[in-house]
């Protein structure tokens, strides 16, 4: 077993323990409060923004296919229990330590790059005033074990009450070896 695989399996074990300790009642209350989140049409260009959330494009990843990547070229992920609904990944439940969220700089909106359907790229404001990008209603995250562009170590990881998937250019979750699934999120539940 290579050192990288061992590190990934170790991280998955840690994620599993963290997920077990998170409260399932907070997931349902967070999902129900998501209806209050405002969704705003994006995308526009904001000069000088260097945040990973400042732009999105697509990239082809070996063994996975074409997926959405952030401004640093890293695979973006969504957390779902049923490939239709966002599950909360928050600082409070410890999720964002492993799956960093992608907040936008103050007043910024994301730019749709190559392969991205600009009509699917929007923003959502959380209850604390922070703005996050969404794609086809999905909140997007990175994975700490992806240390460079072109990696997708987080696909299929089960943690924090659901399974993590990459996001296809059509806005649907992508598993390894599959192009995309057919379901879009039923809600823009965010856990924020």
- Mean pLDDT over the full length of the chain: 75
pLDDT classification of 16: cutoffs 50, 70, 90: very low
Q: Poorest-confidence range of 4-8, 56-60, 70-74, 129-133?
A: 4-8
Three-class DSSP labels, 96-117 = HHCCCECCCCCCCCCEECCCCC
Element (H, E) at 30: helix 24-33
181: left (phi over 0), alpha (psi -120 to 50) or beta: beta
pLDDT at 34: 34
Radius of gyration of the chain (CA): 15
pLDDT in tens, 118-174: 999 999 998 878 999 999 999 999 999 999 999 999 999 999 999 999 999 999 999
The answer for residues whose C-beta is within 8 angstroms of residue 138's C-beta and 6 or more apart is: 78, 86, 167, 171, 173, 185, 188
- Where in the chain are the domains? 3-174
Average pLDDT in the 2-12 region?
Answer: 44
Tokens of 6: 């061992």
- What local confidence, expressed as pLDDT, does residue 77 receive? 97
Identify which has the larger pLDDT, 142 or 189. Answer: 142
Least confident of 2-6, 29-33, 131-135: 29-33
φ/ψ (deg, to 5) at 145: -80, -10
């Amino acid at each position: 077993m290579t050192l990288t695989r061992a590190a990934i399996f170790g991280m998955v074990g840690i994620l599993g323990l963290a997920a077990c300790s998170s409260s399932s009642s907070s997931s349902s209350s967070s999902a129900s409060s998501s209806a209050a989140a405002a969704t705003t049409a994006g995308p526009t260009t904001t000069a000088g923004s260097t945040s990973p959330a400042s732009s999105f494009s697509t990239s082809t990843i070996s063994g996975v296919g074409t997926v959405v990547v952030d401004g640093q070229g890293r695979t973006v992920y969504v957390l779902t229990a049923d490939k239709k609904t966002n599950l909360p990944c928050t600082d409070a439940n410890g999720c964002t330590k492993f799956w960093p969220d992608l907040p936008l700089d103050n007043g910024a909106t994301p730019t749709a790059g190559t392969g991205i359907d600009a009509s699917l790229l929007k923003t959502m404001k959380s209850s604390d005033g922070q703005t996050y990008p969404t794609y086809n209603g999905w909140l997007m995250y990175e994975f700490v074990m992806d240390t460079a562009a072109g990696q997708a170590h987080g696909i299929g990881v089960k943690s924090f009450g659901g399974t993590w998937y990459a996001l296809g250019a059509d806005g649907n979750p992508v598993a390894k070896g599959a192009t995309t699934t057919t379901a879009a999120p039923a809600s823009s539940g965010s856990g924020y």
